[in-house]
Amino acid sequence: MAGLELLSDQGYRLDGRKAPELRKVQARMGVFAQADGSAYIEQGNTKALAVVYGPHEMRGSRSRTLHDRAVINCQYSMATFSTAERKRRPHGDRKSTEMSLHLKQTFEAAVMTQLYPRSQIDIYVKVLQADGGNYSVCVNAATLAVIDAGIPMRDYVCACTVGFVDETPLADLCFAEESGGGSSLALALLPRGGQIALLQMDARLHQDHLETLMEAAMTACKGVSKVLDEVVRQHLQEVSVLTGE
Amino acid sequence: MLKSKTFVKKTRSGGVMKIVREHYLRDDIWCGSEVCTECKQESTVLQRDACIESDLCCFPHYLIPDTNVVLHQIDVLEDPLIRNVVILQTVLQEVRHRSAPIYKRLKDILHEQEKHFYTFTNEHHRETFIEREPGESANDRNDRAIRVAVKWYSHHLEKGGSDGPKAVLITNDQGNKEKAEESDLLVYKCEEYIKSLIANPELVDRLALANDEKNDISSSKVLFPEHFPLSRIQVGIKSGTFLQGTFRASRDNYLEATVFVQGEGEDSTEVLLQGLQNLNRAIHQDVVAVQLLPREQWLAPSSVVLHDEREAKDEDATEEEEKEKAMKNIADDAARKPTGRVVGIIKRNWRPFCGMLNSSLIKESTRHLFTPADRRVPRIRIETRQASALASQRIMVAIDGWPRHSRYPNGHFVRSLGAAGDKETETEVLLLEHDVPHQDFSQAVLSFLPKMPWSITPEDMAVRQDLRALTVCSVDPPGCTDIDDALHCRTLENGNLEVGVHIADVSHFIRPGNALDLEASNRGTTVYLCGKRIDMVPELLSSNLCSLRSNVERLAFSCIWEMNNKADIVKTRFTKSVINSKASLTYAEAQLRIDDTTMNDDITNSLRGLNKLAKILKRQRIEKGALTLSSLEVRFHIDSETHDPIDLQTKELMETNSMVEEFMLLANISVAQKIYDEFSECALLRKHPAPPPSNYDILTKAAKSKGLAIHTDSAKALADSLDVAKVDGFPYFNTLLRILATRCMMQAVYFCSGMDSDFHHYGLASPIYTHFTSPIRRYSDIIVHRLLAVAIGADSTYPDLTDKHKQSALCNNLNYRHKMSQYAQRASVAFHTQLFFKSRGILNEEGFILFVRKNAIIVLIPKFGLEGTVFFDSKDKTGPKLVFDEEGPTLMVEQHTFKIFDKVKVTISLDDSNVQHQKIRMSLVDPVIPGVSVPVTEVEPPAKKPKLDC
Ligand SMILES: [Zn+2]
């Protein structure tokens, strides 16, 4: 039996997308009233929820307090029912810890933390259904939640996972593509200035391919940013109608 | 663009997992037709004027075949006549799942522009995607999807006007056809459609025979046990009741085969199969499931040589049964091998076979038996109306199936290769049979050649060492035009010697990944046949720009050592260079210069220095246990006009042969070490595994028969015992023994250092080895050049070079091509030997027995390097009394006992009674055995020039 053909000769991927096309993105902001900010996002079949509390005073150990900026605290988790396999997911396993750390680094680069010295911002993200690109979807969800909380950021942080198959970069990988071999790269970008908030790649990739892959990732991130921007504007419109301003 | 897609979920259950996948439907998938005005396509594939003379459809039309038509009638689809075909994505995917070779062929057709085949991505088209209905099988859904797509095409094409092309569904499935007719589609069966092509009746022959019951003239008696379905086989393999392996038919006995079962590591086994019933319709190279028979039914491999030479008719199997009985070996338990029977086929590995037609005895019959050139493949029954025209031709035939009640598989005619016996045709056959790519280089490949006139640019000079002043020369066989190595040797001021091996810098011209590179990597090696060379790279490179000819400036990759007078290496360095060879010598010319004491020029002195060092190197190598084995290689003197062989001689070796060889070995070893140091994971190396001890059985037995002992525990022990194995008054004995030893060896192979841990080269007694010195004719060397160039910073790396999986796959291809080229070469020598004996008539020669079989002896004629079989039984008359002893092995014929190495006299003649398998016939002259040996024939004068009618 032959493996999956990730990219057909006609240029279509498994799910019918062309190489640079993103999955369908749907998002909603302000899904929880009691949190300072929240957002729900669906990127294809990957679904994630992000909730933001803060900025507020430091809780717990005071020693972590920073005098010139806010501390960002991130927590990533996956719902037990999020994958095809029903696996018990202990809190704080290695993968979640790593993801949490990546998210923290990403948002430290994007949030204007210097405006809130000696305080703390909490970002909680949960993957409800996983179908590839978990990190990227979480970043996008968290961005919306942070905006919803009204915390100033330098720019949207938009993330996208890109893969490399048959010398062609594929944007926004789904799970089958992620596990189908080949190297994949996750990029979190501040699209306006083109600054990179986080770049992560575990697999081996030849140096010659890096540039094309990076370009594809940047383009994809900019595509995501357009969608997010629309979501935010839509949300603002709805809110302003409601409040009658 | 992004939002324009509707969104459907597709659920796929497998085992306990539920997989949910997204499936996007699109509006931007175009029909690919020239007539369409609606689709916004940039280029079109399907022609406006898609006409083909058919009395069923007299209007332009596009064919849309279903999956089974593609799978079974790929030969028809490949015909240049069939154009303007739509391959649906549904069909493409199903074909991909079900047969990798056919998928590849289909892809090749799709890439061919003249064929006008278009892939329609119907599964992602908004209007042609359908969901599986409750209770509908996957197959039914796909059939329906195909019908929906055909319907869509019909409607879509109608919009361009009623006289435009129409879509025609081709299916062989009756149910599918009826349903299609219900929804007003144009639908035909494949056979029906092909037969309607009035202008091209010969296409009918390419139709695969349907496995219908009515199609079989053979008795309805079931001849073979049934094959188990795949599901049952898989269960059986898991539980260990069945074994999975590759079926290897015997070349010498059509009723015998072995199945090679790959085990863990060394743990592979071979299962013996005997008798038609147990072979159960498996064909050479198929992957099969076998069941072992109970131990008491195990058999020993028969030593009988048996060919299926019956008349072309299906008689009852009694004759076979008798033969089967005859070959049962009443051997003691030790010789018995695990024996089994085929219970199922896991994967067919059928390819089109070359061969010839045995015309049916009934003149008007359209059914004929086809005999493949490969003896391991059974005869195939085909249907053709051109039998008389094809009778004297070599043709290609593909197998369609093998029903249980048919003695032979069914197949169909693919194409004709030309008149049998013709040198061109026979060469074509042997290239095809050995899968040697031999088409002319395509325009795409040629476009990557350097533009002429070519010269070395100042940029090239800047990055290379200028070695033009050195006295470099090359030594090769006479007539060599692809010179890939040259040498120099000079004395340094400190008294040491500087020796350089300069290799053609092919990787300078062949850049990674372009069409030229891909073609070379697929070909893998240049194939040398008698009087013909099939180049790996285009001639401009092989015989001109890369060839290190004398008195021209050439780019080289040099390996330069500083050695002391004991040939110890003091320093090694590698550099890209420019050289200017001072002389291109033959081995004989170089030998003359060395021996002629009056010559004292630079070239000669350089040669003498090299020769002196080479002798020391060789001695050191042999002390370490390197083997010097023997194989007789013959060389033909070919008539320059007719290209017929006029004389034949065994190649003789001179000191200078081994001088060049010694430095090539040294360069290869030095480079192997260097690239392994630099790239421990992805160095391309070559290893030669030590043979398993049982391989040596035949050698030790043979030596024992002369009272000698051969030690085989190490290469060194073997080399030493071969050196002392001499028999008084039998000077040729040692050579014979070395020929036998060669047959015991394993094949040397390329491998990727990251995928293996055993690097040892047994024959050369070197811990590491690679190929660096012949990049013009071996692709492995090009890769090694690239690795070395990166290692010394002379070139940049590229992704595939450091990917060990890709490199491992490349090694597999190179090993395969290498093996096939050797087989092709042997076949070519055999064919030319036949031509030679045809022109010579009958000859009487002396020879030695090399092997003893149950009903024959195999004789080697040293004068011609020719091996032939003397049979002692014949199918018509009662043969002489034969007693075979496995232990010796010896064969007693009447009163005379034949042993290995016995000297015999035979007559040699060409037996051309079977045009396809012309063979050298040998009959015994001396010793004289009444009723067996033949009287000495008067040697006929050489035949006159062959006339055209023969
Ligand atoms: Zn159209």
Going by pLDDT thresholds of 50, 70 and 90, the confidence category of residue B945 is very low
DSSP A111-129: B-GGGSTTEEEEEEEEEEE
pLDDT tens digit string along A81-95?
Answer: 887 766 666 667 888
Subunit contact A16:B124, Cβ cutoff 8 A: yes
Subunit contact B2:A21, Cβ cutoff 8 A: yes
Decide which of B895 and B751 is more confident. Answer: B751
What distances in angstroms separate CA A116 from CA A120, A144, B706, one per listed residue?
Answer: 8, 19, 99
Going by pLDDT thresholds of 50, 70 and 90, the confidence category of residue B879 is low
Which pLDDT belongs to residue A139? 95
Interface pTM, i.e. ipTM? 0.87
Q: What average pLDDT does range B629-646 have in this prediction?
A: 59
pLDDT tens digit string along B715-760?
Answer: 788 888 888 877 777 777 787 888 888 888 888 899 998 888 888 8
Decide which of B941 and B765 is more confident. Answer: B765
The domain locations on chain A are 25-243
Subunit contact B89:A8, Cβ cutoff 8 A: yes
Decide which of B119 and B696 is more confident. Answer: B119
Ligand 1: centre distance to CA B40 (Å) = 8
pLDDT tens digit string along A127-168?
Answer: 999 988 999 999 999 999 999 999 999 999 999 999 988 788
Q: Which fold has domain B208-213+220-416?
A: OB fold (Dihydrolipoamide Acetyltransferase, E2P) (2.40.50)
Give the C-alpha separation, B837 to B921, whole Å.
Answer: 10
Q: What average pLDDT does range B850-860 have in this prediction?
A: 81
Residue B775 · residue B789 · CB < 8 Å = no
- Tell whether the model's pLDDT for residue A75 goes beyond 70: yes
Ligand 1: centre distance to CA B38 (Å) = 5
How far does A206 lie from chain B, in Å, by closest CA?
A: 5
Which pLDDT belongs to residue B218? 45
pLDDT tens digit string along A160-200?
Answer: 999 988 788 999 998 888 887 678 899 999 998 889 999 99
On the question of a cis peptide bond just before residue B889, with omega within 30 degrees of 0, the verdict is yes
CA atoms within 13 A on the CB side of B186: 18
What distances in angstroms separate CA A86 from CA A46, A80, A89, B721, one per listed residue?
Answer: 16, 6, 9, 67
pLDDT tens digit string along B138-196?
Answer: 889 999 999 999 999 998 988 877 778 889 999 988 889 999 999 888 899 888 888 88
- Tell whether the model's pLDDT for residue B1 goes beyond 90: no
Decide which of B595 and B867 is more confident. Answer: B595
Q: Hey, which residues does B291 pair with through a beta bridge?
A: B242, B341
- Tell whether the model's pLDDT for residue B11 goes beyond 60: no
Decide which of B219 and B242 is more confident. Answer: B242
Q: Does A78 touch chain B (CB under 8 A)?
A: no
Which pLDDT belongs to residue B213? 42
For residue B935, give every residue at least 6 positions away whose Cβ sits within 8 Å of its Cβ, in sequence order, or none: B925
Q: What average pLDDT does range B639-659 have in this prediction?
A: 65
Which parts of B587-714 fold into alpha helices (H)?
A: 587-595, 602-623, 655-678, 697-704
Q: How far apart are the first and last CA of chain A?
A: 62
Which pLDDT belongs to residue B855? 77
Ligand 1: centre distance to CA B157 (Å) = 7
Q: What average pLDDT does range B590-607 have in this prediction?
A: 89
Which pLDDT belongs to residue A180? 74
Q: What percent of chain B stands above pLDDT 70?
A: 86
Angle at which helices B602-623 and B655-678 cross, to 10°: 70
pLDDT tens digit string along B333-372?
Answer: 666 788 888 988 888 888 888 888 876 666 666 778 888 8
Give the C-alpha separation, B743 to B427, whole Å.
Answer: 26
**Test the B interface: residue of A24, A160, A227 with most B CBs within 10 Å:** A24
Decide which of B13 and B605 is more confident. Answer: B605
Going by pLDDT thresholds of 50, 70 and 90, the confidence category of residue B14 is very low
Q: Does A15 touch chain B (CB under 8 A)?
A: yes
> What CATH number does the domain located at B5-198 have?
3.40.50.1010
Q: What average pLDDT does range B677-693 have in this prediction?
A: 89
pLDDT tens digit string along A199-236?
Answer: 998 877 878 888 999 999 999 999 999 999 999 999 99
- Tell whether the model's pLDDT for residue B630 goes beyond 70: no
Going by pLDDT thresholds of 50, 70 and 90, the confidence category of residue B666 is very high
Q: Of the given ranges (A238-242, B8-12, B806-810), which has the lowest mean pLDDT?
A: B8-12
Q: What average pLDDT does range B17-24 have in this prediction?
A: 76
Q: What average pLDDT does range B845-861 have in this prediction?
A: 82
Which residues, numbered 93 to 152 in chain A, qualify as contacts with chain B under a Cβ-Cβ cut-off of 8 Å?
131
Which pLDDT belongs to residue B312? 41
Going by pLDDT thresholds of 50, 70 and 90, the confidence category of residue B703 is confident
- By CA distance, what is A210's nearest residue in B? B799
Decide which of B502 and B209 is more confident. Answer: B502
Subunit contact A12:B121, Cβ cutoff 8 A: yes
> What CATH number does the domain located at A25-243 have?
3.30.230.70
How far does B89 lie from chain A, in Å, by closest CA?
A: 10
Ligand 1: centre distance to CA B146 (Å) = 17
Q: Of the given ranges (A146-155, B16-25, B417-426, B808-817), which has the lowest mean pLDDT?
A: B16-25
CB pairs A-B closer than 8 Å:
64
The two domains B208-213+220-416 and B841-926 share their CATH topology (first three levels equal): yes
Going by pLDDT thresholds of 50, 70 and 90, the confidence category of residue B13 is very low
- By CA distance, what is B803's nearest residue in A? A206
- Tell whether the model's pLDDT for residue B634 goes beyond 80: no
CA atoms within 13 A on the CB side of A56: 12
Going by pLDDT thresholds of 50, 70 and 90, the confidence category of residue B685 is very high
Chain B: residues touching A (Cβ < 8 Å):
1-3, 5, 7, 17-26, 89, 96-97, 100, 103, 107, 110, 119, 121, 123-124, 797-799, 802-803
Ligand 1: centre distance to CA B105 (Å) = 27
Which pLDDT belongs to residue B637? 61
DSSP A134-177: HHHHHHHHHHHHHHHTT--BSS--EEEEEEEETTEEEES--HHH
Subunit contact A24:B3, Cβ cutoff 8 A: yes
- Tell whether the model's pLDDT for residue B683 goes beyond 50: yes
- Tell whether the model's pLDDT for residue B259 goes beyond 90: no
Q: Kindly report the CA angle at A73 between A71 and A79, in degrees rounded to 5?
A: 170
Q: Does A172 touch chain B (CB under 8 A)?
A: no
Where are any strands of DSSP class E within B738-784? 749-752
Which pLDDT belongs to residue B219? 47
Subunit contact B97:A176, Cβ cutoff 8 A: no
CA atoms within 13 A on the CB side of A93: 8
Q: What percent of chain B stands above pLDDT 90?
A: 20
* Partner-chain residue, chosen from B19, B25, B799, that has the shortest CB–CB distance to A84: B19
Q: Does A3 touch chain B (CB under 8 A)?
A: no
Give the C-alpha separation, B943 to A230, whole Å.
Answer: 92
The closest alpha carbon to B148, from B135, B161, B133, B165, belongs to B133
Three-class secondary structure of residue B337 per DSSP = strand
Which pLDDT belongs to residue B220? 57
Q: Does A32 touch chain B (CB under 8 A)?
A: no
Subunit contact A24:B1, Cβ cutoff 8 A: no
Residue found under tokens 């979807």? A137
Ligand 1: centre distance to CA B115 (Å) = 19
Subunit contact B22:A84, Cβ cutoff 8 A: no
Ligand 1: centre distance to CA B539 (Å) = 46
Q: Which fold has domain B841-926?
A: OB fold (Dihydrolipoamide Acetyltransferase, E2P) (2.40.50)
DSSP state of B541: I
Which pLDDT belongs to residue A245? 58
Ligand 1: centre distance to CA B36 (Å) = 5
Q: What average pLDDT does range B673-696 have in this prediction?
A: 88
Q: Of the given ranges (B96-105, B279-288, B516-525), which has the lowest mean pLDDT?
A: B96-105
- pTM, two decimals, is 0.67
